[in-house]
């Protein structure tokens, strides 16, 4: 991300879990652990931190602590845009994905990419994943720019994620990094990227929704 101080509002959305074709009930302990793919930017990558301190790794720790087996693939890339994520996605789908977390878009806004193009890229990411895994759960991390502009780009950018979640039958968690951005105690010196303590809050904000989705799995 550029060295700006945005207020980022992130939401979550989901679809149904993969269906089992067998009529025989498989004990939960015998099933393969679900795989969560996090396709994101510097927030997911854990900019300035060890990969193990970023929220994708912390989500796996939370799952294990509550008795849920979970595999998490961190495909976060610092500076990542929606176009970049779309380009990186196909090889990532070679491994089965049960949940896709999309945490992208703010870098597009910093580059003044038109909102319709950002939305189109995000929709293509969803469509491409569902084409490969029709029952995949989709988690959309939406973002909100600070209201420093007189035009309506800020409003349209924030609303885009809500609309995208709705059109994809999604539930929305509106504020992933609540209490982190701008807080020196929870941020790196740039006051943009979370430090290790801030990443724990990101994981804590995401986890209740993700846990609910995982526990609804057959």
E strands, the chain, where?
Answer: 35-40, 71-76, 99-103, 137-140
Residue 169 falls inside a structural domain: yes
Angstrom distance (rounded) from CA 186 to CA 202: 11
For the cut 70, the answer to whether the pLDDT of residue 17 exceeds it is no
Identify whether 8 is part of a domain.
no
Q: What is the pLDDT of residues 62-104, one digit of tens each?
A: 999 999 999 999 999 999 999 999 999 999 999 999 999 999 9
pLDDT of residue 44: 96
22 occurs within a structural domain = no
Share the mean pLDDT of the chain. 83
Distance CA(64)–CA(71), nearest Å, equals 10
**Structural domain includes residue 28:** no
Does residue 60 surpass a pLDDT of 80?
yes
Per the listing, tokens 């979370």 go with 194
Identify the band that residue 16 occupies on the pLDDT scale cut at 50, 70 and 90.
very low
SS3 (DSSP) at 187: strand
pLDDT at 28 exceeding the cut of 70? no
Question: Residue 11 falls within a domain, yes or no?
Answer: no
| Structural domain for 110, as ranges | 35-215
Question: Hey, is 103 helix, strand or coil?
Answer: strand
Q: Strand 99-103's sheet: what is its strand order?
A: 71-76, 35-40, 99-103, 137-140
Task: For residue 203, give Cα distances in angstroms to 5, 8, 25, 89, 216.
Answer: 21, 15, 32, 23, 20
Residue 209 within any structural domain of the chain = yes
CB-neighbour burial class of residue 168 (10 A; exposed 0-12, middle 13-18, buried 19+): middle
What average pLDDT does the segment 103-126 reach? 95
From 126, 122, 129, 127, select the one nearest 104 (Cα to Cα).
122
The pTM assigned to this predicted structure is 0.83
Number of folded domains that form the chain: 1
Q: What is the CATH number of the domain that holds 88?
A: 3.40.50.1110
**Residue 21 is assigned to a structural domain of this protein:** no
| Of 199 and 19, the one with more pLDDT | 199
Q: Which residues are catalytic?
A: 42, 190, 193
Residue 157 lies in a domain: yes
Distance CA 198, CA 130 (A): 32
Lowest mean pLDDT: which of 6-20, 61-75, 138-152? 6-20
Q: How far apart are the first and last CA of the chain?
A: 38
């Amino acid at each position: 991300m550029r060295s700006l101080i945005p207020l980022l509002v992130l939401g979550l959305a989901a679809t149904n879990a993969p269906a089992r074709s067998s009529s025989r009930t498989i004990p939960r302990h015998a099933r393969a652990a679900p795989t969560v793919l996090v396709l994101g930017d510097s927030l997911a990558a854990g900019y300035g931190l060890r990969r193990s301190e970023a929220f994708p790794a912390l989500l796996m720790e939370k799952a294990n602590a509550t008795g849920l087996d979970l595999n998490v693939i961190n495909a976060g890339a610092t500076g990542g845009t929606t176009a970049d994520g779309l380009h990186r996605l196909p090889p990532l789908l070679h491994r089965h994905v049960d949940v896709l977390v999309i945490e992208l878009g703010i870098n597009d806004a910093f580059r003044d990419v038109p909102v319709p193009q950002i939305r189109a890229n995000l929709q293509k990411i969803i469509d491409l994943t569902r084409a490969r895994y029709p029952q995949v759960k989709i988690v959309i991390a939406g973002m909100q720019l600070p209201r420093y502009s007189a035009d309506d780009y800020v409003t349209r950018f924030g609303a885009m994620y809500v609309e995208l979640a709705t059109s994809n039958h999604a539930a929305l968690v509106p504020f992933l990094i609540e209490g982190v951005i701008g807080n020196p105690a929870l941020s790196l010196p740039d006051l943009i990227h979370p430090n290790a303590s801030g990443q724990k809050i990101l994981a804590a904000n995401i986890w209740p929704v993700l846990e609910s989705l995982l526990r609804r799995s057959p």
